Amino acid sequence: MGFTMFGIVTLAFATNYPMLLVAATTMGIGSAVFHPESSRIARLASGGAHGLAQSLFQVGGNFGLALGPLLAALFILPGGRSSLAWFAVAALAGMFILSAVGQWYKSNGHARPKAARKSLEHTGLSKQQVRRAIAVLIALIFSKYFYIASITSYYIFYLMQRFDLPTKTAQLYLFVFLVAAAAGTIIGGPVGDRFGRKKVIWASILGILPFTLALPYAGLTATVALSAVIGLMLSSAFPAIVVYAQELMPGRVGMISGLFFGVAFGMAGLGAAVLGQLADWTSVGFVYKICSFLPLIGLLTVFLPDVGRAKSVA
């Protein structure tokens, strides 16, 4: 939270491009430090409802992300970039909240994680099966976050260019997508708890294919509706993927959380850069036509083992 607060203030008063990069890097460090351990603590506090806990943890960030374009339209555009500094108060409040969480963690004295070897035996899966499953999940993360990068980074420009919308209106339509994504995050975890993680992964990655294929050719109203459906379904995948991976290696919850949050953030950043270059070479509309095929990677889900069945056999 300290890194995040410093980054927000630096961003608000940056006078040149290098300072903007320092601000973005500092906030990135704050996010990188925060997520792995927070995900592990969310699982510890879940009471067995691991998917629900992961969804609740992630929806906070997704809801904040959803509010970004709306707050920018309502406060940053009329008030100027310096008004960003007021949002540092939220990071300061986060410090006090996390202090209380730290006291709870300390007072409960949670046991140290089991050794990796015992974790693999507990699932009934071989090391090779676990490695293959992790590789498949990383490929699915690639598909999800490259597509999300195309929306969060370029959806506003796409709407402005194709439908001749003003910036403020385009930001409001991006808000619709991000709210749907936040709703999908909160839905994905509990549904995975009840019906199984693999089913959620199948539906959320491969299931959006018809909608992504239709998006580049739709009118304005249909585009907004399709983007909401895509955001809802696609965002339900990440809680299921993280908890599924944690169940593959139950003694390495922190490591798995760090791995998948790191890959997710890295893919989002890489996707924004690659797709931006592609848009410069071609057009934003062409980017969405190419990205519409990314959900086909969801077919790799067929190679994921049934963790629940493996446990019952073991």
Q: Does domain 117-313 have CATH number 1.10.3720.10?
A: no
The pLDDT assigned to 122 comes to 59
Residue spans per domain, the chain: 117-313
The pLDDT assigned to 291 comes to 94
Burial 289-298 (b: 16+ CB within 10 A, else e): eebbebbebb
The pLDDT assigned to 110 comes to 52
Task: Give the sign of the dihedral formed by CA 150, CA 156, CA 161, CA 165.
Answer: positive
The pLDDT assigned to 310 comes to 40
The pLDDT assigned to 116 comes to 47
Per-residue pLDDT of the chain (314 residues; tens, 9 = 90+): 899 999 989 988 988 999 999 999 999 898 888 888 888 788 877 777 878 888 888 777 777 777 777 777 777 777 777 878 888 888 899 888 888 888 887 777 654 444 444 445 456 788 898 999 999 999 999 999 999 999 989 999 999 999 999 988 898 899 899 889 888 888 888 888 888 888 899 999 989 999 999 999 999 999 999 999 999 999 888 888 988 988 888 778 878 888 888 888 888 889 999 999 999 999 999 999 999 999 999 999 999 998 754 443 33
CA distances from 236 to 4, 46, 51, 271, 288 (A): 26, 18, 10, 20, 21
